[in-house]
Structure 1
Amino acid sequence: MRVVVDTNVLMSGVFFGGVPGRILEAWRDGKLTLVVSPGRT
């Protein structure tokens, strides 16, 4: 499964929990691998 997480999902997960929080928990538990792309210039 591929999950796209933007800053809105990150902030929502940190402050409110819910589904975004579960995504962050899965990442912390090693169930997801963080892949980062370079930003635009």
Structure 2
Amino acid sequence: MSFWSSLKRVRNIIEYGDAYSLFESHEISYQDFVDQWLMD
């Protein structure tokens, strides 16, 4: 699972980066990121 700082950046990487061409972008809020992805 890769993370980028902006939707614009991830769309650019998906469009021009062959290794990521099959990826889909999913925007999440900062709070969801903290609650669901970071460990205490």
TM-score (norm 1): 0.27
TM-score (norm 2): 0.27
Rg bigger for which structure? 2
Q: Which has the higher contact order (CA 8 A, sep 6+)?
A: 2
